[in-house]
Structure 1
Amino acid sequence: MKLVYVFDAYCGWSHGFSGTLSEVVSRHPELPVEVVSGGLFTGHRRVPIREFGYVQGANAKIAELTGAEFGEAYGRLIADGTFVMDSEAAARGVAALRGAAPARSAELATALQRAFYVDGLSLSDPATYRKVAEEAGLHADAVVSAFEGSEARIAAGADFHRAASLGVTGFPTLLAVAGGRVTPLAHGHATADEVDRRLASARTH
C-alpha cells in the first residue's frame, strides 16, 4: 500500500491540508507517498487572480478551519489582482523537487506552498525553486535546471493525466492505493485522526 497525495501548489485548501499531511506521513513512515500535481489553474483558468473574486474570503475560511498561515508577503503579491497562478509551472517545479529527493516529496510540496502562501514568491520564478532547494539542503542548480527543462514539462502533463485517471476532481485529495484498489482518505479537509481511521479501515478490507 502507498499514499497518493493529489494537490495543486496554488490551491489554498491544499496549503491548509499541509499540517494534516505532515502528521499522517510522520505517523506512517512505512507507507511511501506519491505526490501528484492536479492542474487547477491551466488553460483558460490561467488568468489574473482578480478574476477569482472569492480568494480572500476562502483563505480566511481555510485559516480559521486549519490554522494555515497566509503571510503578509503573499497578501502584497496578490493585492493588485494582476498575479497569474500558473499550475503548469508549479507542477514543473513539483516535478523538479520531487526528482531531487523522491522520498521527501510530501515535505517539499508543503515547502513549495509555504513559498507562495507565506513568503509571497511566484511558483513560475526559477529563483523560488532555488530558495526552496537550498533550504531543503538539495542541489539548487540541479533543481532549477530541471524546472526549466523539458522533462519537468513532460512530468507535469503526466501528473495531470494521473490525477484524472484516479478520478480526482478536487484538491487536495489523499488516497490509499493497494494493487488496483483506491481508497479515498481525505478530500478538501480532514484531521490526521480521521485519515487514520479511514486508513485502518482500508487495511482491513
Structure 2
Amino acid sequence: MNETAETSGAVLPMACDLSTGLCGADASAPRRVAVTYVTDPICSACWAMEPAWRSVTYTYGDLLDVRHVYGGLLPSWEGFADVGNGIHGYGDVAGHWREMAEHTGQAMNVSVWEDDPIASSFPPSMVLTAARDVAPERDGLMLRRLREELFVHGRNISRQDVWARAARNADINPDAIQERLDDGRAKDLFAADLDSARALGATVFPTLIVEAGGDRITLRGVQRPDRLAQVVADAAGVQRPRPSVTLEEAVAHLHVGTTAEYATLLGTTGQQAVAALRAAGLRPHQLPGGAVWTP
C-alpha cells in the first residue's frame, strides 16, 4: 500500500464518460473511498474544517465509507499545555478560539470557556463511542449535533442534559448511551479508539486517512475545501463536478450552518451566501468569525 502526497499506482484511464465525468477502465464504476477521520469533539481545528468536510460529504457521500476515531485531545487540565497556541489552562482557550474563528471564517461560540469550562474531552468522546455502538449509521450525525451544542450554543458537552439533547436531535436513544456509560462498554470502546489513533500515527487533529484502490493519502490539519475535494475525487477516480447546489438543497443538507459552510457548499463568496440566506428568510446568530444560520 502506498502512502504519498499524491495518489500513486493509478491505472491510466482508457475511457471517459462525459455525462458523469467518470474516467477509467470502467468509466461507469467509480471507486469507493474509505476515510478514517481521527478527531475529537472539542477540537476547534476540526470545527474549522466543517465547511470543507460537509461539502465533500454532500458531493461524494454515496462513494464514502467514513470511520470516526476519537483520539482524546484533552485527558484533563492537570499537566496539559499547548504551548504553540498559547494554552496553559482553560482560561486561555476562549482567546485561541476567537483567533481561530477570525482566521478561518468559521463561526465559533467561545462562551463555554468563560461560563462552564470543559474539564476533559474524554467524557464526550465516550458518549460518542457509545452512540456509535447504539446506532453506527448515525455516528457522523451525532458528532455534528454534539459539536453544534458546543461550537454554536456554547454548552458544556460533558453534561448529561446537553449530550442527551444532541442524541435526541440525532434520533438516538440517550438511555441506550447512558447504559453503555454505566456498564463500562463506552470506556472500553473509547480505549480501543485511543489505541487506533496511536496505531495510525495521528499526532494532530484533524487527521484524515483517505484510501481507495490500494493507495492511501494522509491529510493532517485543517484542509482547504478545494484540496479536500480534489483528494477525494482523485481517490474515487472521478472528475470534480462544478458547484450546482441550490439554496434549497443547501438548507436541506446543512440546516443549521455557518456562513462559511453555506458559502462552501454553494460555491459562492461569504457575502453572496449572506445575501441569499437573508433573502430566503434564514435567521443569523452572530458569533466570533461569522454567523450561524437557522431556517
Percent of residue pairs bearing the same amino acid type: 26
Matched, 1:2 2:34: yes
Q: 1:113 to 1:146 in 2, by over 3 A?
A: same
For 1:148, the equivalent position in structure 2 comes to 182
Q: CA RMSD in A?
A: 2.6
Q: Corresponding residue for 1:173?
A: 207
Q: What SS does structure 2 have at the residue aligned with 1:4?
A: strand
Which has the higher Rg, Structure 1 or Structure 2?
2
Gap change, CA 1:45 and 1:178, over 3 Å in 2 = farther
Please say if residues 131 and 139 of structure 2, whose CA atoms lie closer than 8 Å, have aligned partners that are also in contact: yes
Equivalent position to 2:93, from 55, 75, 81: 55
More moved, 50-59 vs 192-201: 50-59
Q: 1:19 is matched with which residue? A: 51
Structure 1 position 60, deviation (Å): 2.0
Cα offsets for 1:131-174 (capped at 9, x unmatched): 01111222222123233331110011111111111111000112
Task: Report the secondary structure of 1:61's partner residue.
Answer: helix
- Unmatched 5+ stretches in structure 1: none
Distance change >3 Å, CA 65–CA 104, structure 1 → 2: farther
Structure 1 residues 129 and 46: CA distance shift in structure 2, 3 A: farther
TM-score by length of 2: 0.59
- Size of the aligned set, in residue pairs, is 198
Equivalent runs, 1:41-80 vs 2, <5 Å = 41-42=74-75, 44-45=78-79, 51-52=89-90, 54-71=92-109, 74-75=110-111, 77-79=112-114
1:40 aligned counterpart, secondary structure: coil
Distance 2:55 2:79 in 1: 32
1:95-129 CA-to-partner distances (Å, cap 9, x unmatched) read: 12222332232222122112122223223222222
Is the CA contact (8 Å cut-off) linking 1:3 and 1:177 kept in structure 2? yes
Equivalent residue for 1:126? 160
1:18 touches 1:110 (CA, 8 Å); kept in 2?
A: no
- Contact between 1:95 and 1:147, CA under 8 Å: does it hold in 2? no
Residues 147/56 of structure 1: CA separation in 2 closer, same or farther (3 Å cut)? same
1:39–1:88 CA contact under 8 A, matched in 2: yes
Once residues 85 and 5 of structure 1 are traced to their aligned partners in structure 2, the CA distance between those partners, rounded to angstroms, is 24
Task: Give the alignment's TM-score, normalised by structure 1.
Answer: 0.83
Alpha-carbon contact 2:90-2:113 (below 8 Å) kept: no
Per the alignment, do residues 19 and 105 of structure 1 end up closer, same or farther by CA in structure 2, a change over 3 Å counting? farther
The corresponding residue for 2:277 is none
| C-alpha displacement of 1:179 | 7.6
2:273 aligns with: none
| Aligned partner of 1:191 among 211, 224, 228 | 224
Q: CA separation in 1, counterparts of 2:72 and 2:213?
A: 25
CA distance change for structure 1 residues 39 and 89 in 2, over 3 Å: closer, same or farther?
same
**How far did 1:201 drift?**
3.7
The letter for the 2-side match of 1:2 is: A
Q: In terms of mean alpha carbon deviation, does 127-136 or 53-62 score higher? A: 53-62
Extract structure 1 runs of 4+ deviating beyond 6 A: none
CA pair 85-120 structure 1, distance change in 2 beyond 3 A? same
Classify 1:133/1:190 alpha carbon distance in 2 versus 1 (closer, same or farther; 3 Å).
same
